[in-house]
Amino acid sequence: MKKKISILCMGALLLAGCGTPKLKNGEEAVVSLKDDKKISVNELYENVKSDFALQSLMTMVDTYILETEFKDYIDTAKTLAKNSIESAKESYGGEEQLLQFIQQYYGYSTIEGFQNYLYLNNMQSHARDEYAKVLVKDKDIEKYYKEKAKGDVEISHILITADVKDDATDDEKKAAEKTAKEKAESLIKELKKAKDVEATFKKLVKENSKDDATKDKDGSLGKITYGDLADTYDELLDAAYKIKDGEVYSKVITTELGYHVIMKTKSYEKESLDKLKDEIRDILAEDLKTNTKTINLDAIEYYRDKYKLKIEDSELNKQFDSYIKRLYASYNTDDSTTTEE
């Protein structure tokens, strides 16, 4: 019977404090010292909350909110975090080396703790992506459809790049760039004089293009429209929409890859708004994520408000308000991307 009572006492310890020393006022003690000195649970809480409690509290809050809001993404976020850890172990030469790095630069005492941090980060990133879509209104989609949405086009190109050696001087690099651009301009002139533009274009692709991915496909970039390529290639698409099928654009298009001579080979009718709506929403949401500095913080604050977060402890609430204000202020003084931890 005595053994049974002891086991029951141990099982109830966390809930009822069975056998836990108490102070005269009834508070549970977490530490006992000589001369009957004790430190209570409340004293520990009051001491810890001034420095550490807020971060732990918000981790608990955000985990609950995001796991409730995005149940379908939990497994994906956990898998991504696990894969990141496994990849990091290989990069740093093992678990011990990775742990040293984590302890030094992130302050986590265990790999598991850091993996949980990565997991929550993944959930927050997903929340940001979904929040950006919430910000896109129907009127924004309709405006984009009317002003920017186009039918797909098929474009072929000849890519000319500068022949620059690794040890080239700045003057040599400039000269090489000038030569490359002039080469592209000479190809346009040749195409303008050609009787069979399409056949000549295919011939010049094989003889001159530096794009190995399209060289054997007559320079074809395939069927594309805005949003299919990076924004830096919008000028290329702008040019394609200005010319007719089978026509070569009269100017050289410059991108980070080099100098492009382009020909539009085929045009397609624009699809209906209903068919393009989701695609346009994704494009506009991506633009918001790129150009809204506070998007990460805005997103998590949006979901906290949605779940009616209220910090009942007045001291922690003050800390939280001050923390959020500092985060927003940091966006106004620092051009780098800030993420909430």
The CA distances from residue 110 to 55, 87, 242, 309, in Å, are: 17, 16, 59, 30
What's the whole-number mean pLDDT along residues 182-209? 96
> Which residues is 31 bridged to in the sheet?
39
- Kindly report which listed range (26-30, 143-147, 168-172) carries the lowest average pLDDT score: 26-30
Per-residue pLDDT reduced to its tens digit, 245-289: 999 999 999 999 999 999 999 999 999 999 999 999 999 999 999
* pLDDT score recorded for residue 3: 38
Please give the model's pTM, rounded to 2 decimal places.
Answer: 0.68
Which domains, and CATH codes, for the chain? 2-49 (no CATH), 54-149+275-287+294-305 (no CATH), 151-267 (3.10.50.40)
Residue percentage of the chain with pLDDT more than 90: 72
Per-residue pLDDT reduced to its tens digit, 103-123: 999 999 999 999 999 999 999
Contacts 24+ apart (CB under 8 A), 273-279: 273/141, 273/142, 273/145, 276/145, 276/149, 277/141, 279/227
Q: Which two tokens stand for residue 150?
A: 């186009």
CB 209 within 8 A of CB 215: yes
* pLDDT score recorded for residue 23: 60
Which of residues 227 and 70 earns the better pLDDT score?
70
What does the alpha-carbon distance between residue 189 and residue 158 come to, in Å, rounded to a whole number? Answer: 13
CB 211 within 8 A of CB 219: yes
Which of residues 36 and 220 earns the better pLDDT score?
220
CB 205 within 8 A of CB 219: yes
Consecutive H or E run containing 253: strand 253-255
